[in-house]
């Protein structure tokens, strides 16, 4: 995948959203912020993102609903849940719905960069495996 990685940061707290966006500034990716779940899904409709950093508690659509919708409509997008209210139950639910990672707040710039890079690498390897499986001849028994 030679395209520039696109990352969407979804958090209703402007300070948190800007901090995450700033953390990703020097990483050679294109970033965009969204205030709400509705804004996030509209941004995905316009041009799907490779990685979504997603808060769970937001006005309107909550993060779990947004996660579920993203994984249904854009299954190749990796979602990293970042929450100030972590729990075992919400972590299990996020993973069940397809989240790549689940990170409790507060989270520092290095954690944001590392999690995003890891999600991008996972996406690239997944796409390579799919391409290899599609191009290899069916094995006969």
pLDDT confidence of residue 2: 41
Q: Which fold has domain 5-135?
A: Rossmann fold (3.40.50)
pLDDT confidence of residue 7: 97
How many angstroms separate the CA atoms of 9 and 30, rounded?
11
CA–CA distance from 39 to each of 12, 20, 26, 65, 136 (Å)? 10, 17, 25, 13, 40
Task: Output the tens digit of pLDDT for each of the chain's 141 residues.
Answer: 347 899 999 999 999 999 999 999 988 899 999 999 999 999 999 999 999 999 999 999 999 999 999 999 999 999 999 999 999 999 999 999 999 999 999 999 999 999 999 999 998 887 777 777 777 665 555
């Amino acid at each position: 995948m030679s395209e520039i990685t696109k990352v969407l940061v979804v958090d209703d707290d402007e300070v948190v959203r800007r901090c995450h966006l700033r953390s990703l500034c020097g990483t050679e990716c294109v970033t965009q912020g969204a205030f709400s779940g509705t804004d996030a899904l509209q941004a995905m409709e316009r041009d799907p993102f490779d990685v979504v950093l997603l808060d769970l508690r937001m006005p309107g659509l909550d993060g779990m609903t947004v996660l579920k919708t993203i994984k249904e409509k854009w299954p190749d997008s990796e979602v990293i849940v970042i929450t100030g209210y972590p729990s075992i139950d919400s972590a299990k639910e996020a993973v069940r719905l397809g989240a790549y990672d689940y990170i409790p707040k507060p989270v520092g710039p290095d954690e944001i960069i590392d999690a995003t890079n890891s999600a991008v690498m996972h996406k690239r390897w997944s796409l390579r495996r799919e391409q290899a499986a599609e191009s290899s001849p069916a094995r006969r028994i």
